């Protein structure tokens, strides 16, 4: 006897809550990062590494499960994802060092990748005649989770320990497990259309395999604490081996899909990279209230994704992405100049409107243009996005701040600079970072100089990342032109004769 009835709508809401769980973890990590920085003596780049490891392992599980999910079943993947969420929660609240936090975030990212490995193809299959609209609605669960978790944590204030706040992750995790255990999952569109496993691999091809494996290998090698040169050489070698293996299916990869994979890296950096840092970046203007910018933009994104399907249909998916890129770039540049709370939230409104449709609309393009790739192409797109921001984006933003702060403080007061800066080693090489423990011994005027240098570095980071969506705008305009030469953008429809 089923405790919860099975239906497509209930299945959708179970997937929606599973995605909320992943964003709960993201938001909690963002809100607790400063607390961890003090307790575990973290540099800005180490904070970026923690943000990153909460993202990039996502690609490992989403790619692996996408290769086998049609055989093991969506429900098996769902249970594995829940177990990862549970284990990571236990590891996080018992962490005693940077390394403990690092591996706890690694496990939660594996769970998040597994979640997206089944929710994306499930929704694309259930609503195959309106994929982009329903994928946008599904991914409204990401900002919804940030809003819910953010408001709860802000209400808790300092009365609850950070460990107690982390336990909030258990609420949506148990909820999606309870719902999805009783649902009947559909057969993937590719499978039901009779497209072979080999043909699915051909959509990814040698080039797609190289990109995915290169990014995964780069971060795995870095995690083993090797020096910078072997990271690049080892990642390239792994990518070439994977590409050569996929060459056995006699395919370079579908060119449009390869382009989308490459575009996902700057797209994800624009959205998730900035989201990881936005509360911290707004600290010079809003102080400790910077997290409200993230909650505010998440609220706007949630509404736009769930109710803004008409916008995507009116502009077409690629037209939507082009317009959103321009708006996001302008919003980020405006944020870098904002010096009052009112201007911050006005600029954040533009930024939120720009990034709202990024991720799910890109998935919609893949689902509509590369359906022969099934779960693999759909999920590899999200995986590369997470890898790009996890390996490079979040860490790059942190390193930009560390480097800018290093220069700013050296110019303001070389004596203070020599007292509080220490050398550290990261994927981007050796850099100098602020040691927070040494700031406490400074006199008030010296602390003010440090704070002013911090503010300067955060504005520099925002101005630099504003250039990223400018590049996306150019790319989407070129794709629009190409589709127009082919007769216009039209979804590819699979049938049993495909």
78 lies in a domain?
yes
Residue 429 located in a structural domain: no
Nearest to 124 by CA among 18, 203, 12, 17: 12
Phi, psi of 73 (to 5 degrees): 95, 145
Q: For residue 52, tell me if it sits in a domain.
A: yes
- What's the pTM? 0.81
Among 26-35, 107-116, 287-296, 466-475, which is the least confidently predicted range? Answer: 287-296
* 420 lies in some domain: no
pLDDT at residue 235, rounded to an integer: 64
Range of the structural domain that residue 394 is part of: 8-407+458-485
In a domain, 443, yes or no: no
Per-residue model confidence (pLDDT) at position 84: 96
Say how many domains are in the chain: 1
Output the domain CATH number for residue 295.
Answer: 1.20.1250.20
In degrees to the nearest 10, what's the CA dihedral of 406, 411, 414, 420?
-30
Q: Are 391 and 52 in contact (CB under 8 A)?
A: yes
Determine contact, residues 138/16, Cβ cutoff 8 Å: yes
Asked if the structure places residue 35 within a domain, the reply is: yes
Residue 233 is predicted with a pLDDT of 66
* Segment 172-215, tens digit of pLDDT: 999 999 999 999 998 888 888 888 888 888 888 888 888 888 88
Residue 118 lies in a domain: yes
What gap in Å lies between CA 482 and CA 478, rounded to an integer? 6
pLDDT above 70 as % of the chain: 89
Residue 259 lies in a domain: yes
* Average pLDDT, integer, range 276-296: 71
> Which tokens hold the place of 194?
């009779």
Whole-angstrom Cα distance, residue 86 to residue 94? 13
Per the model's pLDDT, the better-predicted residue between 389 and 378 turns out to be 378
Name the 3-class secondary structure at 55: coil
At residue 283, the pLDDT reads 65
Q: Nearest to residue 39, comparing CAs of 104, 95, 91?
A: 95
């Amino acid at each position: 006897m089923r405790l919860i009835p099975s239906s497509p709508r209930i299945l959708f809401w179970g997937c929606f809550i599973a995605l909320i769980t992943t964003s709960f973890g993201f938001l909690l990590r963002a809100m607790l990062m400063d607390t961890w920085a003090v307790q575990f003596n973290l540099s800005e780049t180490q904070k970026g590494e923690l943000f990153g490891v909460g993202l990039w392992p996502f690609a490992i599980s989403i790619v692996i499960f996408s290769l086998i999910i049609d055989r093991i079943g969506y429900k098996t993947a769902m249970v594995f994802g829940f177990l990862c969420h549970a284990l990571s929660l236990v590891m996080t609240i018992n962490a005693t060092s940077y390394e403990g936090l690092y591996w706890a975030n690694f496990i939660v990212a594996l769970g998040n990748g597994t979640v997206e490995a089944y929710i994306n193809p499930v929704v694309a299959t259930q609503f195959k005649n309106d994929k982009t609209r329903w994928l946008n609605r599904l991914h409204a669960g990401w900002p919804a989770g940030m809003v819910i978790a953010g408001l709860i944590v802000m209400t808790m204030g300092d009365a609850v320990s950070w460990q107690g706040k982390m336990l909030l992750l258990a609420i949506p995790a148990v909820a999606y497990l309870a719902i999805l255990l009783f649902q009947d999952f559909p057969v993937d569109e590719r499978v039901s259309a009779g497209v072979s496993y080999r043909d699915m691999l051909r959509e990814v091809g040698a080039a797609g395999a190289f990109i995915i494996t290169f990014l995964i290998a780069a971060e795995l090698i870095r995690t083993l604490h090797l020096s910078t040169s072997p990271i690049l050489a080892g990642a390239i070698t792994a990518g070439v081996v994977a590409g050569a293996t996929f060459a056995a299916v006699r395919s370079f990869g579908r060119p449009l899909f390869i382009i989308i994979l490459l575009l996902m890296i700057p797209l994800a950096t624009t959205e998730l990279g900035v989201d990881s840092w936005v509360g911290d970046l707004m600290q010079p203007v809003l102080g400790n209230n910077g997290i409200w910018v993230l909650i505010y933009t998440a609220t706007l994104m949630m509404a736009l994704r769930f109710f803004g399907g008409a916008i995507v249909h009116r502009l077409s998916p690629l037209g939507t992405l082009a317009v959103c890129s321009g708006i996001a770039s302008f919003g980020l540049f405006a944020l870098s100049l904002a010096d009052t709370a009112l201007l911050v939230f006005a600029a954040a409104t533009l930024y939120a409107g720009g990034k709202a449709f990024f991720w799910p609309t890109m998935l919609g393009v893949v689902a509509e243009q590369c359906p022969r790739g099934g779960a693999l192409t759909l999920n590899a797109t999200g995986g590369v996005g997470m890898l790009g921001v996890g390996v490079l984006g979040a860490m790059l933003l942190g390193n930009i701040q560390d480097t800018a702060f290093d220069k700013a403080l050296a110019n303001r007061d070389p004596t203070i600079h020599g007292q509080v800066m220490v050398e550290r080693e990261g994927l981007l090489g050796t850099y100098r970072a602020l040691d927070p423990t040494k700031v406490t011994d400074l006199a008030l005027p010296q602390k003010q100089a440090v704070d002013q240098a911090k503010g300067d570095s955060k504005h520099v980071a925002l101005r630099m990342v504003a250039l990223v969506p400018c590049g996306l705008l150019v790319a989407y305009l070129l794709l629009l032109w190409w589709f127009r030469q082919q007769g216009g953008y039209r979804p590819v429809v699979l049938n049993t004769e495909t």
